[in-house]
Amino acid sequence: MPHTLEEKATELFGADVFSRRVMRQRLPKEIFRGLVRTMDHGEPLDPAVADVVAATMKDWAIERGATHFTHWFQPLTGLTAEKHDSLLAPDGFGGVIFNFSGADLVQGEPDASSFPSGGLRGTFEARGYTAWDPTSPAFLMHGEATVTLCIPTAFVSWTGEALDTKIPLLRSMEAISRQALRILKLFGTDAGVTHVITTVGPEQEYFLVDREMYFQRPDLMMCERTLFGAKPPKGQQLEDHYFGTIPPRALAFMAEVERELWRLGVPVKTRHNEVAPGQFELAPLFEQSHIASDHQMLLMETLKRVATRHGLQALLHEKPFAGVNGSGKHNNWSLATDTGVNLLDPQDETHTNMQFLVMLCAVIRAIDLHADLLRASVASAGNDHRLGANEAPPAIISVFLGDMLRDILEQVEKGLPKRTLRGGTLDLGAKSLPQIPRHSGDRNRTSPFAFTGNKFEFRAVGSTASIAWPNTVLNTIVAESLDWMAGELEKAAGRNPSPAKLQAAVIAVLQGVIKQHKRVIFDGDGYSAEWHAEAGRRGLANLADSVDAFPVMRAKKNLDLFKKYGVLSKSELESRHHILVEKWVKQMVIESEAMITIARTQILPAALEHQALLADTVTSTEAAGEPGAARASHPRQGTARHGRPARRRRPAGDPRQRRSLAAADLSRIAGHEVVGAGRGPPAGDEEAAARPLAMRRPWPARWR
Ligand code: ADP
Ligand code: MG
């Protein structure tokens, strides 16, 4: 029976993942339960469990053609790393056996000094470990005729310092969970909840270019962005690309990307044309932050890998081309209980939903207090071209709430809120069309941190970035605010307050927060000059680029913050600062050197050739006025072949007239304005007239 598309898709999803479902099917019950306790409740892993899991994982992988395994991790390069080991080992009798133990699964030992460590590791003290992260499922990576078992791991130095992006993210998730649980306890909504998780849905923007053309651009190859170039006559002026019909070649590529990602269990959902020509977007459904972060790395790699099979190059750079929009990665973020309740869902009668208002105000407070740190978390050389350029949010971090929430906070400021604004319905004016429900507030695409119904959308993340670090920062700053809120509420209401007492305490605490932090709320046009001025008056940070933003990471308040919540030690934070600055500098140097190389080897020769052609044109034009001179100044005998200007013959006639013709001609040919064209030097200035035209400066004003 032929498969329907639906059946195929359901078979594909997760086909290459050693998922919980596979584990439940294949592992002995007791072992599975033990592993779940580790995965869900952080209980220490029993080595006996690890051995059985490893053996089962190995069989599963071999059945699917795997020959190698690797610990897959995310060092501070911002990329992923893998070192493959064969699953085969000699059996001692001249043959081989497949071999993969619990120890192989749990721990690896890559050289830590060859990855960026920001001074945490040197070549003479290079030991580092990878440690299995059982919360992120193992998967199979298909290469050209190879299958590799990839085991997501954390990467740590021998001294115990986090050398990757995953460990701090996991720590920040624990920090926010602890604090959010305190709030749930106060409201008595914690029944059955063991964890509060953070959820992320990252939307990825990217460009596709034909590979043949890509190879003609050393700047794209070296820097992933053009360093020279001209705007095409038709760019995005007509606004005809966004959501336009997806070109068949791009669609074929997208479909293959999606199939590969589905196999890896990445729930990609949305695909569409973006604003700029050749720009597209791919968005998965949201998942727990650390899984979303792993999947986001796989997504970026898959885009790159699959593109080449279609003769395309996927560009993830924030600004590959000047003059059209750049690419970002919108980081949709929320908080949920492990029982599935979204804590940022305002629900119907929002003004009565005190727990939601506490969560909301904790986020607002966090963003106001740590706007500079959040800004710094998305700083990079690439993002410097994008933020604040009227295509991405400004570098000023503010919060968009929309009419409904803003109205409720205004009510809270005055007392107990009494109403929730409703959107009503929208009548489309044609009887055949349905009346559609209308949101209570508009959308704002200029805000860096916008509330979008039941989540916040952090819109300033760069398209090349790993989302782990911005989310680590976001989780940590919100953890701090929830901690503070819980403390204030516990103080005001006691541990087991009556509903009335709790409500009074909540209103009092929220009033304080709103008064103090409402300056960060802004619902207007974030692209406008007025907002920049207004933000200045409100005292909001405007860290225009990375150079301004990076130092924030070393501020004492931030060292203390990360330390207090056990996310990063002082040395771990400083190492990250060091690495980011170094990477920025290196990227600048690479771009500068690429620019000089291209200027010297491609632009200058072309310019000289062009100049010679112009000089020839001038000479032959001038010669045309003199019978018998054309041959002598013909390009083939002159500059075009030898690259030297042909010897100039002096034509007869009025020098002023000749020069004006030549200058006007030159301006037409070169497409540039020649200053003073059409008006020659005063008659009698023989010296000026004798100089080759290309060498002449713009003529002085007195000649005009
Ligand atoms: P938009 O046009 O608003 O950007 P998209 O569909 O492109 O919408 O992306 C919305 C993203 O937000 C998706 O990745 C979606 O899974 C994610 N998302 C939805 N709900 C949540 C949530 N509770 N937490 C985190 N992300 C969410
Ligand atoms: Mg979108």
Ligand 1 atom at minimum distance from 333 CA: 25
Other C-beta atoms lying within 10 Å of the C-beta of residue 406: 17
Residue 452 alpha carbon to ligand 1 centre in Å: 9
Task: Select from 196, 203, 360 the residue to mutate for testing ligand 1; criterion: most ligand atoms less than 8 Å from CB.
Answer: 203
Give residue ranges with CB within 6 A of ligand 1.
Answer: 199-201, 203, 270, 283-286, 330, 332-334, 342, 452, 454-455
Instruction: Provide the token pair at 619.
Output: 């000479």
Residue 77 alpha carbon to ligand 2 centre in Å: 27
Ligand 1 atom at minimum distance from 330 CA: 4
C-alpha 173/C-alpha 474 separation (Å) is 10
Residue 228 alpha carbon to ligand 2 centre in Å: 30
Could you give phi then psi for residue 14, rounded to 5 degrees? 75, 10
Average pLDDT over residues 285-303: 97
Residue 240: what pLDDT? 80
Q: DSSP state, 425?
A: E
Q: Is 283 exposed, middle or buried (0-12, 13-18, 19+ CB in 10 A)?
A: buried
C-alpha 216/C-alpha 92 separation (Å) is 53
pLDDT of 377 higher than 80? yes
Ligand nearest to the CA of 443: 1
Ligand 1 atom at minimum distance from 336 CA: 23
Ranges 33-47, 91-105, 276-290, 541-555: which has the least confidence: 33-47
pLDDT digits (tens, 9 = 90+) for 327-357: 999 999 999 999 999 999 999 899 999 999 9
Residue 271 alpha carbon to ligand 2 centre in Å: 9
Contact 145, 69 (CB under 8 A): no
pLDDT of 515 higher than 90? yes
Other C-beta atoms lying within 10 Å of the C-beta of residue 141: 23
- What element of type H or E holds 128? strand 128-132
Could you give phi then psi for residue 631, rounded to 5 degrees? -60, -45
Instruction: Provide the token pair at 23.
Output: 């584990």
Ligand nearest to the CA of 332: 1
Residue with the larger pLDDT of the pair 394 and 463: 463
Task: Select from 271, 331, 332 the residue to mutate for testing ligand 1; criterion: most ligand atoms less than 8 Å from CB.
Answer: 332
Nearest CA to ligand 1 atom 14: 201
Residue 6: what pLDDT? 64
Residue with tokens 């009092």: 508
Residue 236: what pLDDT? 83
Ligand 1 atom at minimum distance from 202 CA: 14
C-alpha 87/C-alpha 96 separation (Å) is 10
C-alpha distances out from residue 95 to 89, 92, 98, Å? 9, 7, 10
Q: DSSP state, 132?
A: E
Tell me the pLDDT band of 663, cut-offs 50, 70 and 90. Answer: very low
Determine what percent of the chain is predicted with pLDDT higher than 90.
67
Ligand nearest to the CA of 205: 2
Residue 202 alpha carbon to ligand 1 centre in Å: 7
Ligand 1 atom at minimum distance from 283 CA: 14
Using CA atoms of 547, 549, 550, 553 in order, give the dihedral in degrees to the nearest 10.
160
Contact 371, 543 (CB under 8 A): no
Q: DSSP state, 496?
A: S
Residue 203 alpha carbon to ligand 2 centre in Å: 6
- What element of type H or E holds 260? helix 248-263
Q: Are strands 146-157 and 68-72 parallel, antiparallel or unpaired?
A: parallel
Tell me the pLDDT band of 661, cut-offs 50, 70 and 90. Answer: very low
Residue 285 alpha carbon to ligand 1 centre in Å: 7
Residue 7: what pLDDT? 61
Fill in the amino acid letter for 281.
Answer: E
Residue 534: what pLDDT? 94
Residue 428: what pLDDT? 80
Task: Select from 261, 281, 286 the residue to mutate for testing ligand 1; criterion: most ligand atoms less than 8 Å from CB.
Answer: 286
Ligand nearest to the CA of 345: 1
Residue 281: what pLDDT? 96
Residue 312 alpha carbon to ligand 2 centre in Å: 23
Residue with the larger pLDDT of the pair 648 and 351: 351
Task: Select from 176, 200, 455 the residue to mutate for testing ligand 1; criterion: most ligand atoms less than 8 Å from CB.
Answer: 455
Ligand 1 atom at minimum distance from 332 CA: 26
C-alpha 246/C-alpha 526 separation (Å) is 30
Ranges 8-17, 191-200, 638-647: which has the least confidence: 638-647
Residue among 689, 618, 703, 699 nearest 654 (CA): 689
Ligand 1 atom at minimum distance from 281 CA: 7
C-alpha 417/C-alpha 401 separation (Å) is 16
C-alpha distances out from residue 117 to 125, 162, 574, Å? 12, 9, 10
Residue 242 alpha carbon to ligand 1 centre in Å: 18
Could you give phi then psi for residue 505, rounded to 5 degrees? -65, -40
Residue 242 alpha carbon to ligand 2 centre in Å: 11
Residue 246 alpha carbon to ligand 2 centre in Å: 16
pLDDT digits (tens, 9 = 90+) for 27-69: 999 999 999 998 888 888 888 899 999 999 999 999 999 999 9
Ligand nearest to the CA of 452: 1
Residue 450 alpha carbon to ligand 1 centre in Å: 12
Average pLDDT over residues 672-696: 41
Residue 478: what pLDDT? 98
Whole-number mean pLDDT of the chain?
87
Ligand 1 atom at minimum distance from 200 CA: 25
C-alpha 390/C-alpha 111 separation (Å) is 43
Ligand 1 atom at minimum distance from 345 CA: 23
Nearest CA to ligand 1 atom 16: 285
